[in-house]
Structure 1
Amino acid sequence: MSKKIYVAYTGGTIGMRPSDSGYAPGGNLMGLLEDKLSPEVMASLPEFQLFEYPQLIDSSNIRPDNWQHIASDIASRYAQFDGFVVLHGTDTMAYSCSMISFMLQNLHKPVIFTGSQIPLCEARTDGLENLVGALTMAADERIKEVCLYFNGRLLRGNRSSKLNAYLFDAFDSPNYPWLGREDIHVELNETLLWQPKEAETFQLVCDSETHVGIVQLFPGINAQWMASALNQPMDAFILRTYGTGNGPDADLALLDTFVRATTSGKLIVNLTQCHRGTVHQGSYAAGSALAKAGIVGGLDTTTEAMFCKLHHLYSLGMNSEEVKVQLSVSLAGEVSV
């Protein structure tokens, strides 16, 4: 039996067209695809239904309300289709993949995000290959998770990051192997694919205002600057540190700022600025000092996935102590435990 795939076009470069201000989201994507692909090629693809969102966005404008819309859209059509493709802008695609993986846990069907670096309206577009590849992956019943397909690579969505703004090779998963790739043959590493532990668990609540802030250490950072950041009305902060989770342990005023924030109930999660690696706060004294200040290590989770995981858990009504327990729990394959 042939698979039936639902394609949600949310916006992004893939369907953009030139404007006086540069590329901007454009409609009638199906018409553009029919212009680019012959009827014979269209007939060879998995059967798909494309739905164009009424308000197409550049993904730089993504907000939690958009995540709730996407997750609710997939959930409402879950029984009707065998797989799902989300066409999305590349700038925040790793965030959206991550959030949808937490909102739609224990999937038994594939949800594949993709997009392009060059719009379909251009001759050198990468959008056709990415869409065809995503449709192929969405029809593969071995995949039961949210993935990102781009330039021949299949990545776990909540392990992915955008690492290049200029190459077709835009995404990678720094701390987890690729799940598969498409060359002459489609190859999946089945031992790496996420296996649902129970029936689908869809938690569609996603608060409109974010609960999470992101701050980054830099040489010369001081307590006054950090206090100003941590005084923002957020429940949690991601602190992007050096190396394996190190910070300036000689600055007692800065450490005291962290202590005041954590004792007041704010959760601060330590993630490394390094492209690859995991946080071990006890490897160096500079990391141990952060742990003593109440900062919690985030292991090898990406910044994008941690941001979305924290927002998801607080949206469910958890308090900081309950959220802290979940940081070392793999909800959808986002962390090595």
Structure 2
Amino acid sequence: MTNRPNILLLYTGGTIGMVKDYKTNALKAFDFNQLLEKIPEIEQLNCNIIPVSFEKPIDSSNMNTSYYIKIAEIIENKYQNFDGFVVLTGSDTMSYTSSAISFMFENLQKPVIFTGSQLPIGDLRTDAKENLITSIEIASTRKNNKPVIREVCLYFEYKLYRANRTTKINAEQFEAFTSMNYPPLAESGVHLHFNNNLLLKPKKNQSKLIVRKKLDSRIVILKLYPGITETVVKSIITIPNLKGIILETYGSGNAPTEKRFIDLLKQAIKNDIRIVNVTQCAGGSVLMGHYETSVALKKIGVVNGKDITTETAVAKMMYLLGENLSKKDFKYYFEQSLRGEIG
């Protein structure tokens, strides 16, 4: 191939963009224009890399919907001029951010790869170099002159995942992420191996990229626990202007059967609050009506989150609430796989 792919490298903040000042031992932001200086191996990649950074890089703990929109707009504005995108963010909220971006981009035909690291780029045993190099390589991989990846992904420690299937499971190990309900899309070893049958295939005759920027963050996560009181549940579902509740239930979607608890949820749904049932378990799926303890939830109109992760349920709810759908349509679209996020 004569034409080298153009890859946009977007740094929003996070550990991967930090280097240690060895005089003070303090971490400071890395200038990505000096990328070759720190990682000369990048020159071996068959692509042109253009780095762009947020003017003020943010810690991922400060990530919010306005930054989601900022990331989406940078990609939208550069979409025609680039063949792939690598987004560097802090790993703590990466699953939330990358999931949200997956819903914001409709008809995506190019790779958007999120990555980061557990250690700064200049550290002796850093995981930053491998994560960065392989993410760029994945973003620039083409077959028959088309990108192999045409969806939003997350790459970390030798594995490429569908972004909206991931969860951060470890704050210390390099293998920080997992995807319990969907296998890796690619694995990096001696060779870069893509599991082609697992990749999202864009529909034929797809129209141009649509970017959905109306996100409604008036939602809450209500995690059930044995002994949760009526007062706690009531105080949460009566939050002013609340629009959606992610209900984290036990096992395969089970919850208390007490009439007072069910009545509170029923009243919330009557008040036009959308409630989605997701499991607290790391893996597996909600099976509404499978046990008696979830029959009542199904009956009152709680939405079945199936095998969606909590992080992705939050992103999907923000997206669908922003579309201002009827109760019936919200339930229909939430229970459908829109970006490969549920099985």
Q: Give the whole-Å Cα distance in 1 for the aligned partners of 2:284 and 2:11.
A: 34
Contact conserved, 1:281 with 1:297, CA < 8 A, in 2? yes
- The alignment of Structure 1 onto Structure 2 pairs a total of residues equal to 329
CA distance in 2, matches of 1:16, 1:228: 41
Alignment-mate amino acid for residue 247 of structure 2: L
Shift of the 139–275 alpha-carbon distance from structure 1 to 2, 3 Å rule, reads same
Identity of aligned residues (%): 39
CA distance in 1, matches of 2:126, 2:210: 35
- Could you state the TM-score of these two structures normalised by the residue count of structure 1? 0.93
2:33 aligned partner: 30
Distance in 2 (alpha carbons) for counterparts of 1:25 and 1:293? 52
Segments of structure 2 that go 5 or more residues without pairing to the other structure are: 142-146
Shift of 1:37: 2.3
Q: Secondary structure at the match of 1:149?
A: strand
Q: Which residue of 1 aligns with 2:181?
A: 175
Residue 234 (structure 1) aligned with residue 242 (structure 2): yes
The aligned counterpart of 1:300 is 307
TM-score (norm 2): 0.92
Deviation at 1:24, TM superposition (A): 6.1
Per the TM alignment, residue 66 of structure 1 is displaced from its structure 2 partner at its CA by 0.3
Q: Counterpart of 1:190?
A: 196
Quote how far apart the aligned CAs of 1:25 are.
6.3
2:10 matched to which residue of 1? Answer: 8
Indicate conservation of the 8 Å contact 2:106/2:212, yes or no.
no
Among 334, 337, 340, which residue is 1:327 paired with?
Answer: 334
Contact 2:20 2:123 in 1 (8 A): no
- Residue 196 of structure 1 aligns with an amino acid whose one-letter code is P
Structure 1 alignment gaps of length 5 or more: none
Please give the residue correspondences for 1:108-257 in structure 2 after superposition, counting only pairs within 5 Å.
108-140=109-141, 141-197=147-203, 198-207=206-215, 210-232=217-239, 233-249=241-257, 251-257=258-264
Q: C-alpha offsets along residues 84-142 of structure 1, whole Å, 9 cap, x if unaligned?
A: 00011101101111111111122111110000000112111110000001001101211
2: distance between equivalents of 1:23 and 1:92?
A: 23
Question: RMSD of the TM alignment (CA)?
Answer: 1.7
Is the 1:205–1:316 contact (alpha carbons within 8 Å) kept by the matching residues of 2? no
1:258·1:294 contact (CA, 8 Å) conserved in 2? no
Deviation at 1:18, TM superposition (A): 5.7
What SS does the corresponding residue of 1:48 show, helix, strand or coil? strand
Report if the CA contact (8 A) 2:187-2:194 is conserved.
Answer: yes
Distance 1:23 1:104, change over 3 A: farther
- Name 1:98's counterpart in structure 2: 99
Structure 2 distance, partners of 1:23, 1:210, is 35
Classify 1:23/1:214 alpha carbon distance in 2 versus 1 (closer, same or farther; 3 Å). farther
